[in-house]
Amino acid sequence: MRDVKLLDIFTHPIAQKYLNRSGLAHAIAVAYHSFHLANEYNIDPDIAAKAGLLHDMGHFTWYRNGKWDYDLYKQNDIHPIKGAERAHKLLIRLGENPIKAKTISLAILFHTDSFLPSNDIIRTPLQQVVKWADEKDEEEGGKHHYRKIDFLRAKESIMNLDKLIDEEQRKRLSS
């Protein structure tokens, strides 16, 4: 029913590189929040979970003298733009439906206002859900990017979420 599972994304080396950079535990938490909110608002849970998982894959490491520099980050960050592009490329490579890939990419692009000169975007319900999901897992001082999870536990969580999405899609088809 789905062309690409979360597990296909998660195990791809490109996803591993960027998900680990911005915090795998955070990415998985946001994927779960996105899934639950998608069910609440009657949005496709597969698209929402994928956007949640990949929403921060555009982060760059803003270091100065070996230390994270928050001012440098604030000034120069474009992670939603880079993330939208990286996620789109990855999804297309994995064989994702192109309409879904674009929808996911746009949800990543608009998951935050932090990189925009103004905060007057009117979001689609999916884009709003991914923004809320991210905010639900945020910790002060960006600590959510540093929470750890080991690979096997992360993989199990991803497989479990794939199962939940399949069940939800089956339920909606039969109702």
**Of 100, 110, 121, 104, nearest to 54 (Cα)?**
104
Interactions with Fe ion, residue window 86-145 (CB under 5 A): 134
Q: Which stretch binds Fe ion (CB under 5 A): 10-18, 50-58, 92-100, 123-131?
A: 50-58
To Fe ion, the closest distance from the beta carbon of 26 in angstroms equals 6
Which residue in the set 56, 57, 58, 131 belongs to the binding site for Fe ion (CB under 5 A)?
Answer: 56
Side chain identity at 93, as an amino acid letter? Answer: R
> Which contacts (CB < 8 Å, 24+ apart) does range 34-37 have?
34/129, 34/130, 34/133, 35/161, 35/164, 35/165, 35/168, 37/129, 37/132, 37/133
As a whole number of angstroms, the distance between CA 46 and CA 68 comes to: 34
Q: Which is nearer to Fe ion, 134 or 162 (CB)?
A: 134
- For the segment 61-80, give every residue that binds Fe ion (CB under 5 A): none
| Residue appearing with tokens 């909110």 | 37
| Residues near Fe ion (CB under 5 A), total | 2
The 11-40 contact track toward Fe ion, x by CB under 5 A, reads ------------------------------
Residues near Fe ion, by CB under 5 A: 56, 134
